[in-house]
Amino acid sequence: MPGAELINIINKKLPDFKVVAVTRPYPDELVIQVKAEDFKKVCLAVHEHLSSSVMSFFAVDDRQQQGKFILYCYFINVPLHQWVAVRLDISPADPYFEAISKDIYSAHLFEREIWEMFGLEPKGNPDLRRLRLHDEVWPVGNYPLRKDFQTVTEGEKKDYKFTRVEGEGIFEVPVGPVHAGIIGPGHFRFSVAGEPIINLEARLGFTHRGVEKLFEGKSLPAGLQLAECISGESAFAHSLAFCQAAEKIAGITVDKKTAYWRSILLEVERMYNHVNDIGGIALDVGFSFPAALAAIIKESILQANEKLTGNRYLKGVNKLGGISLKMDQSRHEELTTSLGRIREDFAVLVNILEESVSFMDRVDGTGTLKKEIAEDLGVLGLAGRASGIPIDLRKIFPGVYQEAGIKIITAQTGDVLARLKVRIEEFAESGRLTAEFLSKISTAETTGSKSGPAVDGALGYSEGWRGPVLYWLKTGTEGLIERCKIVDPSFHNWPGLSYAVLGEIIPDFPLCNKSFDLSYSGSDL
């Protein structure tokens, strides 16, 4: 039986537990199917044993074929380089499941999402307010991700209730959804006692476009195009994760040259975004010269992208099973030289920031997110690594990163400075990796392999610049998409921001916010 070792460990903790089925649909995925009464306990056992937060947790409406809803809760097994999913089948007659979020907080937002989109109630979750379908515009009882949902039927509309902090001298400051900058919409409700923030509730969902429903019924190439428009400045990480899921289903293993190019472009995307955020942090404390320099560096990377791929944001580059890039020697050299120049400029930028005592003083100790809290919330990616959580999919599922010996950059303090430093070092590491991949690419193999197509849903993933981007994809008999579940790292990390600002003053919020730089559209879907 696959995963026997893990089942034994679960059995030691839960002697009465009997597994329904264990499958290994793909080498990197293990699916443990359990009964309703075991679901919570098994999730908890897996969570504790693997020390993994909930990476993805979603429902699939399979009533038409199998007459049931299916829940998948994904964890990551770092030492075995494997995803572990706990699966629960739910009968439409009893549309509920036992909530796990009271014990595993990182499941909290996912449970609310399953409730609002499918009408499957997580029993025991104390907060079932909707995340994306705003109460003011969407009547209750409409569950858009159910397959039989056609159009919205009129019903009761309500007002959203914010968490209230009460007491003498406490007042609320509402900010948004339209903000002062050129940025996405979100509402932030600060409760303030004097100057310090004592509670921040972020109400998001303003850019909800119903994308998961839009994927359904699309062909894979059409789905790929949509995946590039989920989070615009992370287009490549999203298209890569989508392609990986689709390729797993189709049984395609890409050739090494494609793997190199994908890694190069993923790193280039990381570089332009990291330098953008470093500039943003400088701008938010009023240090305009490095901000301008960072904008120049970002622009030169975007122009290099355009020269190389024809698109500044690397859209339209990934294809199923390959990459659409006609690379000749001259462009290859051009990229190498322009990246060299970019790295030189970057060194100057970092030097200016580090030599400014007042700048360093401003970011040091501001917006601290402690490791324990980050772990409980399930904060991942760059923000997680800055709080000492060493999770990076490039290390866990290395592929071509293996030979390049990728270095994981972490910091311990979890403040704005830590997130700044992780960005600076990751930029340098990305520069090194890109140069190394470019030097090897001309001799890389160009033949991939193909095995038979699979029927199961598959998880595709990439470590984007914010963190892990996950696409769970299931196709039907005609190859059309039946379900696509997207998890952008921003969805995990927004709660982290609400904790990082506690005790800070409101004028520091933009600085803290920029140091996370989370996506509204990626989280709102």
Partner 1 sequence: MYKILKTRLLKKVMTRSLKPGQTSALESAGLELKKEIRRKFGRSLHIREVDTGSCGACESEIIAANNPIYDIQRFGINFVASPRHADALMVTGPLSKNMEIALKKTYEAMPEPKFVITVGDCALDGGLFKGSYYIDKKINEVVPVVLHIPGCPPSPSTIIQALLDFMKK
- Determine contact, residues 30/49, Cβ cutoff 8 Å: no
124 binds partner 1 (CB under 8 A): no
235 binds partner 1 (CB under 8 A): yes
Calpha distance 291→279 (Å, rounded)? 4
| Angle (deg, nearest 10), helices 256-284 and 288-309 | 160
Amino acid, res. 109: L
Q: How far is the CB of 116 from partner 1 (least distance, A)?
A: 12
For partner 1, the closer of residues 513 and 519 by Cβ is 519
| Angle (deg, nearest 10), helices 4-13 and 36-50 | 110
* Size, binding site for partner 1 by CB under 8 A: 54
For partner 1, the closer of residues 472 and 520 by Cβ is 520
For partner 1, the closer of residues 143 and 499 by Cβ is 143
Q: How far is the CB of 342 from partner 1 (least distance, A)?
A: 13
Binding mask 274-313 for partner 1 (x = CB under 8 A): ---------------x--xx-xx-xx--x---------xx
Q: How far is the CB of 421 from partner 1 (least distance, A)?
A: 19
Q: Which of 63, 134, 147, 332 binds partner 1 (CB under 8 A)?
A: 134
Amino acid, res. 79: P
Q: How far is the CB of 420 from partner 1 (least distance, A)?
A: 18
Residues 361-420 that bind partner 1 (CB under 8 A): none
Q: Which of 29, 38, 233, 426 binds partner 1 (CB under 8 A)?
A: 233
Q: How far is the CB of 19 from partner 1 (least distance, A)?
A: 37
- Determine contact, residues 98/36, Cβ cutoff 8 Å: yes
Using CA atoms, how far residue 219 sits from 202, 232, 408, 476, in Å, is 35, 21, 36, 10
Non-local CB neighbours of 278 within 8 Å, separated by 6+ positions: 290, 294, 349, 350, 353, 420, 423, 424, 427
Residue with token string 């030599």: 355
Non-local CB neighbours of 243 within 8 Å, separated by 6+ positions: 224, 318, 319, 320, 321, 460
Neighbours of 372 (CB within 10 A): 10
Q: Which of 232, 310, 321, 398 binds partner 1 (CB under 8 A)?
A: 232
Q: Which of 2, 210, 310, 321 binds partner 1 (CB under 8 A)?
A: 210
Neighbours of 20 (CB within 10 A): 12
Calpha distance 175→152 (Å, rounded)? 30
Q: How far is the CB of 223 from partner 1 (least distance, A)?
A: 11
Residues 309-368 that bind partner 1 (CB under 8 A): 312-313, 315, 348, 351-352, 355
Residue with token string 């890569």: 240
Applying CB under 8 A, the residues found at the interface with partner 1 are 132-134, 136-138, 144, 149, 151-152, 177-178, 180-185, 205-211, 213-214, 225-226, 229-233, 235, 289, 292-293, 295-296, 298-299, 302, 312-313, 315, 348, 351-352, 355, 519-521, 524
